[in-house]
Amino acid sequence: TPTLTAAAQARSKSRNRSKSQNRSANSRLSAADFAFGETLGEGSYSTVMRATYLRTGQEYAIKILDKNHLMRKEKMHVALAEKNALVKLGAGHPGIVHLHWTFQDDWSLFFVLDLATNGEMQTRISRLGSLSLTCSRYYAAQIVDAVDYIHTKDVIHRDLKPENLLLDNAYRIKITDFGTAKIIEPSERANTFVGTAQYVSPELLEKNETSKSSDLWAIGCIIYQMIAGRFAFQGLSEYLTWQKIKSLDYSFPDGFDPDAKDLVERLFARDPLQRLGAGLPGGPNGPEALRSHPFFASISWSTLWTDPVPPLE
Ligand code: ATP
């Protein structure tokens, strides 16, 4: 593919030819600083490769985006959106793929990311059929915790699904794919939270909340899928699937855990503002309300990322 060709070319170039974008680290990295290993996966505009940073021996996943291809397909803004969201999220949460550095050369953009060695959650669900209740609860909690962090940084993921939940070497979640993420601008926030309450339109309120809240809807879909082993909403075509979503046409298989059922029902509230966790932090329906749901009663939130991981089954 053009991307691989570019990657191969890049590897043979001297470090002087690349332009580092990472001014803050005061380093001028290039592909020559890494030993590239196998291809971990391919996206529509990118190839992700395992790579070792020669200076430290640390392994990373490097996402290589072909500049010409991005330009031809008018997708440069997607790559930049992903970079901007990842930079905004920083290294502050273990459940999100961290962007360590970016650099570029004449052909490619390089994103140096946390390596998630155990692939996508989707592959695991497909392989296992469904996940045990213990596993589903554990991963649901990690997703809730990571998405809460994302939202506190004023980023909305907008494409949460098991394909975008990677598993690291300890089988903990790392959320990835911020190409469709949206950063809520301060002005938007001002409109919503600082404006004169009596005059703010429901649409304006809803637009902001719906966006964050749509991530909560997606979490409901993921929890349903992990436990049931099938989609909550699935029609014979995309159109029919959308019809089902719009009419909240879903049902639970026999034996679906009652607490999980209650949680999913609350995440599938049609009104985005009523969705569990959609309210302001500290408020009656804020993120704390979601964490306090009985389904999560056995979860220790403060040790969620250091506790032993339940076997993936
Ligand atoms: P598309 O661009 O079509 O939406 P995508 O978002 O999956 O696809 P990439 O982000 O380039 O595209 O990822 C391609 C594949 O590489 C992914 O499916 C994933 O399996 C793998 N991958 C991505 N990031 C990492 C990572 N940090 N660690 C390990 N594997 C990764």
Could you please report the per-residue DSSP string of 55-91? TT--EEEEEEEEHHHHHHTT-HHHHHHHHHHHHHHTT
Nearest to 124 by CA among 165, 174, 175: 165
- The atom number, within ligand 1, closest to the CA of 117 reads 29
Q: What pLDDT digit, counting tens, does each position of 129-171 carry? A: 999 999 999 999 999 999 999 999 999 998 999 999 999 999 9
Among 33-37, 227-231, 244-248, 285-289, which is the least confidently predicted range? Answer: 244-248
DSSP 221-244: HHHHHHHHSS-SS--SSHHHHHHH
> Is 49:39 a contact under the CB 8 Å cutoff?
yes
Give tens-digit pLDDT for 61-86: 999 999 999 999 999 999 999 999 99
Could you give the angle at the alpha carbon of 237 between the alpha carbons of 233 and 243, nearest 5°?
A: 50
Instruction: Say how many residues make up the chain.
Output: 313
Higher-pLDDT residue of 214, 207? 214
pLDDT at 242: 87
CA 267 from centroid of its chain's CA atoms: 18
Contact yes or no for 299/143 (Cβ under 8 A): no
pTM of the model: 0.87
Where in the sequence numbering do the catalytic residues fall? Answer: 159
The CA–CA distances, whole Å, from 28 to 15, 24, 220 equal: 8, 10, 43
Is 90 exceeded by the pLDDT of residue 292? yes
d(CA 22, CA 10): 18
**Which residue puts its alpha carbon closest to atom 1 of ligand 1?**
43
How many CA atoms, within 13 angstroms, populate the side-chain half-sphere of residue 149?
Answer: 20
The C-alpha atoms of residue 46 and residue 44 are separated, in whole angstroms, by 6
**Atom from ligand 1 closest to the CA of residue 163:** 18
**Which residues does ligand 1 sit against, CB inside 6 Å?**
40-46, 48, 61, 63, 97, 113-116, 119-120, 166, 176-177
184 burial level (CB within 10 Å; 0-12, 13-18, 19+): middle
Distance 241 CA to ligand 1 centre (A): 25
Render 176-220 in DSSP notation, one character per residue: ---TT-EEPPHHHHIIIIIS-GGG--HHHHHHHHHHHHHHHHHHH
Residue 175 pLDDT grade (very low, low, confident, very high; cuts 50, 70, 90): very high
Would you say 21 and 10 are in contact if contact means Cβ atoms under 8 Å apart?
A: no
Angstrom distance (rounded) from CA 285 to CA 272? 11
Tokens 């049931």 correspond to what residue? 228
